[in-house]
Structure 1
Amino acid sequence: MSRHGSETPVTPAPDRSGASGPEARAWLGGYADRLLAGVRPYASPSGSLITLPGTPGGYGTAVDGLEGFARTFLLAGFRLAGEDGADPTGLAERYAAGLAAGTDSAHPERWTRPEEHGQAKVEAASLALILDLTRPWIWDRLTPDVQERTVDYLASVVGDPDYPDNNWVWFRIVVETFLRSVGGPFSADDVVHDLAAHDRFRRPGGWFADGPERSFDHYAGWALHLYPALWARMSGAAEVAAAAGDDLAVRSASDREHLERYLEDALALVGSDGAPLIQGRSLTYRFAAAAPFWAGALAGVGRPGQLREAATRIVRHFADNDVPGPDGLLTLGWHHPWRPIAQRYSGPGSPYWASKGLLGLALPASHEVWTAAPEPLPADIGDVLTVAGAPGWVISTTRDDGIARVINHGTDHAIPGSDGGDSPLYARLAYSTATAPLLDAEAWTSPLDQSVVLLDDAGRATHRTGFEPLSTSGVGVALASAADAHWIEADLTAPDHGSGRAGESTSAGRITTVSLVRGPWEVRLVRVSESSADAVALRVGGWAAGPGLVSTLVPLLGDVAPVCGETTSDDTTLLAGPTTTPWSRYAPVPDGWTAVGIHLARTPAIGQPRLELTAGQAAVTWPDGEQTTATLP
Structure 2
Amino acid sequence: MRQANAATTAPSRPRVPALDRDALELIAQRILRGAMHHGSSGHARIIYPGAAGPLGADIDGLEGFARTFLLAGFAVSGARGGDPLGCLDWYAEGLLAGTDARSAERWPRLDEHPQAKVEAASLAFALDMTRPWLWDRLDARQQQQVVDYLAPAVGDDTYPQINWVWFRLVVQTFLASVGGPSSESEMRADLATHDSFVKANGWLSDGEERAFDHYGGWALHTFPALWARMEGARDLAAERAGVDVQRLDRYLDDELVLVGADGSPLIQGRSLSYRFAAAAPFWAGILSGVPSHAPGLLRRAATGIVGHFAERDVPGEDGVLPVGWHDAWPPLAQAYTGPGSPYWASKGLMGLMLPADHEAWIAPEQPLPIERADTVRAITAPGWLVSGTVADGIVRVINHGTDHSVEGALVGDSPLYARLGYSTTTFPLLDEESWRSPLDQTVAFVDADGVATHRAGFRSLGVAVERSGPVDVGIAGSVVTAHWLDADARQQHHGSGYTGQATVAGVITVVSIVRGPWEARLVRVDSIADDRIRALRVSGWPISAATHGSTDERDGAVAVQAAGLRSSIACDGAEAGVARVEDASPLGPHSSVPFALLPVGAGEWHLLTVELSSSGSEPAASRAAVNFAKGSGQPGSLVWPDGVVTDTSLSTYLPGLDTRPPGETSAQGRATYPPMEEK
TM-score normalised by the chain length of structure 1: 0.93
**Aligned pair partner of 1:613 in 613, 623, 628:** 628
Query: Contact between 1:422 and 1:444, CA under 8 Å: does it hold in 2?
Result: yes
> 1:544 maps to which residue?
542
| 2:259 match: secondary structure | coil
Rounded to whole Å, the distance in 1 between the matches of 2:41 and 2:649 is 65
User: Gaps spanning 5+ residues in structure 2: where?
Assistant: 1-13, 545-562, 652-656, 658-679
Query: Contact between 2:569 and 2:594, CA under 8 Å: does it hold in 1?
Result: yes
Rounded to whole Å, the distance in 2 between the matches of 1:305 and 1:409 is 33
> 2:269 maps to which residue?
280
Query: Contact between 1:438 and 1:544, CA under 8 Å: does it hold in 2?
Result: yes
Matched, 1:555 2:571: yes
Matched, 1:458 2:456: no
Rounded to whole Å, the distance in 1 between the matches of 2:576 and 2:623 is 17
Name the aligned partner's letter for residue 587 of structure 2.
L
Query: Contact between 1:273 and 1:402, CA under 8 Å: does it hold in 2?
Result: yes
Rounded to whole Å, the distance in 1 between the matches of 2:412 and 2:391 is 36
Query: Contact between 1:616 and 1:631, CA under 8 Å: does it hold in 2?
Result: no
Matched, 1:493 2:498: no
The verdict on how the C-alpha distance between 1:599 and 1:577 changes in structure 2, with shifts beyond 3 A counting, is same
> 1:625 maps to which residue?
644
Rounded to whole Å, the distance in 1 between the matches of 2:463 and 2:343 is 42
The verdict on how the C-alpha distance between 1:426 and 1:435 changes in structure 2, with shifts beyond 3 A counting, is same
Deviations 1:111-153 (A, max 9, x none): 0111111110010000000100000011001122111011011
Equivalences for 1:226-625 in 2 at 5 Å?
A: 226-239=222-235, 241=236, 248-301=237-290, 302-471=293-462, 475=468, 476-532=473-529, 533-546=531-544, 547-556=563-572, 561-589=573-601, 591-604=603-616, 607-614=622-629, 615-618=632-635, 619-622=637-640, 623-625=642-644
Query: Contact between 2:411 and 2:502, CA under 8 Å: does it hold in 1?
Result: yes
The verdict on how the C-alpha distance between 1:424 and 1:289 changes in structure 2, with shifts beyond 3 A counting, is same
Give identity over the alignment, percent. 52
The verdict on how the C-alpha distance between 1:97 and 1:519 changes in structure 2, with shifts beyond 3 A counting, is same
Name the aligned partner's letter for residue 564 of structure 2.
G
Rounded to whole Å, the distance in 2 between the matches of 1:60 and 1:579 is 33
Query: Contact between 2:383 and 2:462, CA under 8 Å: does it hold in 1?
Result: no
Query: Contact between 2:162 and 2:206, CA under 8 Å: does it hold in 1?
Result: yes
Query: Contact between 1:516 and 1:628, CA under 8 Å: does it hold in 2?
Result: no
CA shift for structure 1 position 324: 1.5
Equivalences for 1:83-102 in 2 at 5 Å?
A: 83-102=79-98
Rounded to whole Å, the distance in 2 between the matches of 1:340 and 1:589 is 38
Aligned length: 605
Rounded to whole Å, the distance in 1 between the matches of 2:66 and 2:115 is 11
Name the aligned partner's letter for residue 125 of structure 2.
L
The verdict on how the C-alpha distance between 1:141 and 1:275 changes in structure 2, with shifts beyond 3 A counting, is same
CA shift for structure 1 position 251: 1.1
TM-score normalised by the chain length of structure 2: 0.87
> 1:52 maps to which residue?
48
> 2:3 maps to which residue?
none
Rounded to whole Å, the distance in 2 between the matches of 1:443 and 1:419 is 17
User: Gaps spanning 5+ residues in structure 1: where?
Assistant: 1-14, 242-247
Deviations 1:292-336 (A, max 9, x none): 000000000121001111110100100111212343200000001
CA shift for structure 1 position 236: 2.3
Matched, 1:133 2:129: yes
> 2:10 maps to which residue?
none
CA shift for structure 1 position 616: 2.8
Deviations 1:464-490 (A, max 9, x none): 110001147765320000011110011
> 2:204 maps to which residue?
208
CA shift for structure 1 position 46: 0.4
Name the aligned partner's letter for residue 567 of structure 1.
A
Rounded to whole Å, the distance in 1 between the matches of 2:308 and 2:150 is 36
Rounded to whole Å, the distance in 2 between the matches of 1:550 and 1:18 is 24
The verdict on how the C-alpha distance between 1:63 and 1:410 changes in structure 2, with shifts beyond 3 A counting, is same
Name the aligned partner's letter for residue 378 of structure 1.
P
CA shift for structure 1 position 457: 2.4
Name the aligned partner's letter for residue 73 of structure 2.
G
Matched, 1:120 2:111: no
| 2:169 match: secondary structure | helix
Deviations 1:572-628 (A, max 9, x none): 112124221000012344541112000001124865322121123223222251415
Rounded to whole Å, the distance in 1 between the matches of 2:463 and 2:277 is 35
Indicate the RMSD between aligned Cα atoms, in angstroms.
1.5
Query: Contact between 1:42 and 1:51, CA under 8 Å: does it hold in 2?
Result: yes
